[in-house]
Amino acid sequence: MTNRANPTSPKATKTKLGDKKTFAWALWDWAQQPYPTIMQTFIFPVYLAGAVAEAGTNADALLGIATGVAGFLLAIIAPVLGRRSDEGGRRKFWLMISTYGLVVIMVASFFVEPKAEFLIFGLVLYGLGSVVQETAYVNYYAMLKSVSSPSTIGRISGYAWGLGYAGGILLLAVALFGFVLPGTVFGVPATDGLEVRTVFLFCAIWTVIFSIPIFTQVPEIEKKSSKKESIFRSYVLLWAQLKSLYKQAPETLKFLISSAVYRDGLAGVFSFGAVLGSLAFGFSQTEIIIFGMAANIVAGIGAVIGGRIDDVIGSRNVIAASLIGLIIAGFGVFLFADAGQITYWIGGLALCLFVGPAQASSRTFVSRFAPEGREGEVFGLYQTTGRAISFLSGFFWATAITIAAVVTGEENTTIYGVLGLMVILIVGLMLLLRVNPNPQVKYSS
């Protein structure tokens, strides 16, 4: 049989944003926001590269290696984690473990002093945090169906993503005016990097407080099996499930492949955005944080609007339109770079406008068309496929810059890295257009 909905099932009921469990689920995006905003993008990696690493250490490359190792580890464990949470009925439990694992990592980051001997420790925390965060997403995304209905799933996903961006804005504002700038609100002394390191402790407290609702309001799923399963057995059964997923939802599997490519391009836009602003357009650390605040505002607006449009025209169409917008904006940044910082402000914010809906609608597409009862497994594959080729953005970014340096003879060729990211997005768009926007999922009777 093909797509069907039981009108008496929970999936078919009208789920609103105001429902307690729906809001609690969405609030987790706000709760975990310190990691992607502070620890992954705008402050911790800049602190490692600028304050901890010695000059000439090539810290940017080391951050890339840490990210690559994390991606490899995640590619191995994510699908099995998703499958085991489905079978054991422990999605919320494992989300809690991952969430508070991030808290521990943020607290540990406070002890990374601005000395060269702390660089390896900081890189390990950076890579480990990436693994923990992505494994948390496996179970968090798998919950989306349980807190939404078919008619609201797009807007709820977009709303949650927008809420996360709003959290990022507030976090950056508190970091800048509360800790980093001289004479800040909390009066933390600017010695031994304390003005930056204390931000990491604040982030840990933030996550603890705002993550409580999802663990008290969202119910746990039921066990599918009472049998204990070894990790080895999980991998054996995973292969069989991959084959059955291809038969049951082939378009979902095709989407996982296409999204792996373009999502790595999206990750590159954020990962290298601060570096681009600093090296190609001469932004200071303070200016980068201010830009980050504006970027989160624009991306959040894009995610919310895109989520509402998603429910009307479909997830795939929203993603395709967003990728086209990203490609146009990216080439605009490159072509008009000589105009100076105004190009980064306009083009960079345009990129952020389209990143939000592309990200939100990607998880919505998977959630819409993941076979019932296999959400954790499919989102494990979603995280795995994305991380399995997570080296692409770094490789294409570095290759484009290196080739440009050889061909042009210029000393600063950072702007050419944008072209490398655009190649990834173009390929991802081409693969996405081969995916049926309204695939049929076969359900067993």
- Between 41 and 104, the more confident residue is 104
Q: Which stretch of 270-279, 397-406, 426-435 has the lowest confidence by average pLDDT?
A: 270-279
pLDDT (tens digit per residue) in 317-358: 999 999 999 999 999 999 999 998 999 999 999 998 998 899
pLDDT in tens, 197-245: 999 999 999 999 999 999 999 887 777 666 666 666 766 776 776 777 7
| Domain 19-222+230-432: which CATH number of 3.40.50.920, 1.20.1250.20, 3.40.50.300, 3.30.930.10 | 1.20.1250.20
What pTM does this model have? 0.76
Q: What pLDDT does 172 receive? A: 92
Per the model's pLDDT, the better-predicted residue between 443 and 346 turns out to be 346
Rounded Cα–Cα distance for residues 38 and 334 (Å): 26
- Of 134, 74, 390, 136, nearest in space to 263 by CA: 390
Q: How many residues can be counted in the chain?
A: 445
> 364 or 384, which is more confident?
364
CA 215 vs CA 19, 62, 168, 374: distances in Å: 15, 36, 22, 21
Cα dihedral angle (191, 193, 199, 204), rounded to 10 degrees?
Answer: -110
Contact 357, 303 (CB under 8 A): yes
Rounded CA separation 291/61 (Å): 24
How far, in Å, CA of 263 to CA of 248, rounded?
Answer: 24
Q: Which H/E stretch holds residue 358?
A: helix 341-369
DSSP conformation class of 39:
I
Give dist(CA 95, CA 133) in Å, integer.
10
